[in-house]
Amino acid sequence: MTRRSTPQFLLAGIAGVLFSAQLAAAQDCTPKHSFTTVEAGTLTVAVTTYAPHSYIDDSGTMKGIDGDIAAAFAARECLKVKAVAVDPAAAIQYVLSGQADITTGDWYRTAERAKVMNLSAPLYTDQMGIYSKDGFTKVSDLEGKQVGTVQGYLWVADLKALLGSALKLYPNSVNMQQDLKSGRIDIAVDGYSTGVVAAGKGALGDIKVTVAAPDERVKATKEAAQAAFPYALKATELGVALDAGITEMHADGTIVKILKSYGLDGTAAETGAPRLVQ
């Protein structure tokens, strides 16, 4: 009887110590702000798949530039993270319907989006990249060449005005990259981060990817779109906390460090004042 009850007593004591340690650890974390979330004590994130900005890895962990920034914010506010994989077409609706607090995926700060939801302080800029075998960096390098770009980017209209029929539009990056490697176009213009990922996977061969130097003729080279965390209009206290956390992470170098961890040079962290794409 004694020998059977002794291990039970010890196990109960060990469990009590562990619980006390966990409680103390939780109490040691003091949130920087007070706000409500979809699920108490948890930051619920609608995660799209758009590397290197947003994805869920094989272990089910939220990753990517946006994901790491969101995780750092959650840690500073003593929140667990609940990552929900969603299609990009459904991500915004997840936030609007109250199923997620924020969504990740290089979401632009646009005037149209700001009509239906709030947008956090800028995380980074989506820089215009120039893809070429010669490592071109200037818009002037595009002139007199056959150039390709992907539909929908901010720089398309300006490049059309500059290059005319020498600009070919593609529905996606993959088709454009194939034409670039085969020589059907001389230069490609796409997101810098997209090119870094493709180059890292060996998909570009000897093609070099550079950030386009500022040029008055292409507005996106001077004022690149700013990425943000979209959140609900009514979640004003969450917004205050997000903006403060993002500002802090810019100041202490966290965002630059995260950008560099995904192969970028860190300059995208230089967002400038918050602005909306009209």
The contacts of residue 217 (CB under 8 Å, 6+ apart) are 139, 158, 161, 162
Confidence of residue 27 (pLDDT cuts 50, 70, 90): low
The dihedrals phi and psi of 191, each to the nearest 5 degrees, come to -60, 135
Q: What per-residue confidence (pLDDT) applies to 173?
A: 87
Look up the CATH number of domain 128-222.
Answer: 3.40.190.10
Question: CB of 223 within 8 A of CB of 274?
Answer: no
Query: Token pair of 176, please?
Result: 């454009």
Query: Strand (E) positions, the chain?
Result: 42-47, 55-56, 62-63, 80-85, 102-104, 107-108, 118-119, 124-126, 128-132, 147-150, 167-170, 187-191, 208-211, 225-228, 230-231
Query: Token pair of 50, please?
Result: 């758009």
| DSSP 8-state code for residue 215 | B
* Average pLDDT over all residues of the chain: 90
Q: What per-residue confidence (pLDDT) applies to 59?
A: 93
Asked if residue 1 has pLDDT above 80, the reply is no
Q: What percent of the chain is helix, strand and coil (3-state, nearest 5)?
A: 40, 20, 35
Average pLDDT over residues 73-79: 98
Q: What per-residue confidence (pLDDT) applies to 200?
A: 87
Q: What per-residue confidence (pLDDT) applies to 172?
A: 87
Domains 42-125+226-269 and 128-222 share a fold: yes
- What residues does each domain of the chain span? 42-125+226-269, 128-222
In tens, the pLDDT along 46-74 reads: 999 988 999 999 999 999 999 999 999 99
In tens, the pLDDT along 102-136 reads: 999 999 999 999 999 999 999 999 999 999 999 99
Asked if residue 10 has pLDDT above 70, the reply is no
Asked if residue 3 has pLDDT above 60, the reply is no
Question: CB of 101 within 8 A of CB of 235?
Answer: yes
Confidence of residue 2 (pLDDT cuts 50, 70, 90): very low
Share of the chain above pLDDT 90, in %: 81
In tens, the pLDDT along 144-175 reads: 999 999 998 889 999 999 999 999 999 988 89
User: How many CA atoms lie within 13 Å of 139's alpha carbon, on the beta-carbon side?
Assistant: 19
Domain at 42-125+226-269: CATH architecture: 3-Layer(aba) Sandwich (3.40)
Q: What per-residue confidence (pLDDT) applies to 124?
A: 97
Average pLDDT over residues 253-267: 95
- pTM, to two decimals: 0.82
Query: Token pair of 185, please?
Result: 């176009």
